[in-house]
Chains A and B, each alone.
Chain A
Amino acid sequence: MGTLAEDYFRMLRIRRFEETVLDSFSRGIFFGTTHTYLGQEAIAVGVLDHCQESDVVMSNHRCHGHFLAYGGSMRALAAEMMGKSTGVCQGRGGSQHLKWKNFYSSGILGGTLPLAVGMAFVQRERGQGMVFAFLGDGALGQGVVYESLNMASLWNLPLLFIVENNLYAQSTPIRLNLAGEIPARFEAFGIPARTVSGSDLDQVRTTAGELQAGIRETSHPAALICSTYRFGPHSKGDDLRDRDEIAAFRQRDPLKLIEAQLDSGPRVQIETDVEQEVAAAFKQAEADPLAQPDELTPPLEMRP
Chain B
Amino acid sequence: MTTVLEAINHGLRQCLATSEDVYLLGEDVLDPYGGAFKASRGLSSAFPQRVITTPISEPGFIGVAVGMALRGLRPVVEIMFGDFITLGADQLINHASKMRWMSADEVRVPLVLRTPMGGRRGYGPTHSQSLEKHFLGTPGLRVVAPNPWFSPEQLLINAVLYDDDPVLFIEHKILYSTPVWAAEAGEYKCSLTGGLYPAARIRIAGAPQPALTITAYGYASCLAAEAMRHLAYEHELFAEVIAPTRLSPAATELLMNSASATGAVITVEEAPGEFGWGSEMITALQLAGLRGLRQQRVAAQAMPVPSSGPLEAAVLPQVDDIVAAALETV
Contact = CB atoms under 8 A, between A and B. Distances in A.
A and B physically associate: yes
Given A117-B67, A122-B72, A303-B195, A111 B57 contact: no
A120 B63 CA distance: 12
Interface string B292-323: 00000000000000000000000000000000
B66 A90 contact: no
B57 A92 contact: no
Contacts of B97: 299
A112 B91 CA distance: 9
Interface stretch (A18-26, A39-47, A147-155, A197-205): A147-155
A99 B107 contact: yes
Interface in B189-205: 193-197
B104 A89 contact: yes
Nearest to B139: A299
Contacts of A116: 67
Contact of A118 (B68, B140, B165): B68
B234 interface: no
Contact of A115 (B54, B66, B73, B100): B66
Interface in B236-289: 249, 251
B68 A119 contact: yes
B325 interface: no
A99 B103 contact: yes
B61 interface: yes
Contacts of A123: 71
Contact of A150 (B60, B62, B139): B60
B61 A122 contact: no
Contacts of A223: none
Interface centre among A104, A106, A300 (most CB of B within 10 A): A300
B64 A111 contact: no
B59 A147 contact: yes
Interface of B: 54-55, 57, 59-73, 75, 90-91, 94-95, 97-107, 139-142, 163-165, 193-197, 249, 251
A-B pairs, 9 with minimum CB distance: A118-B67, A114-B63, A147-B60, A304-B195, A299-B140, A99-B103, A147-B57, A115-B67, A118-B64
Contacts of A154: 55
A230 interface: no
Contacts of A111: 59, 63, 90-91, 94-95
Interface string A111-140: 111111111111101000000000000000
Nearest to A87: B104
Contacts of A147: 55, 57, 59-61
B108 to A, nearest CB: 9
Given A147-B55, A148-B60, A304 B193 contact: yes
A56 B71 contact: yes
Contacts of A301: 163-165
B67 A121 contact: yes
B139 to A, nearest CB: 5
Contacts of A125: 73
Contacts of B66: 114-115, 118
Given A99-B107, A150-B57, A299-B101, A122 B95 contact: no
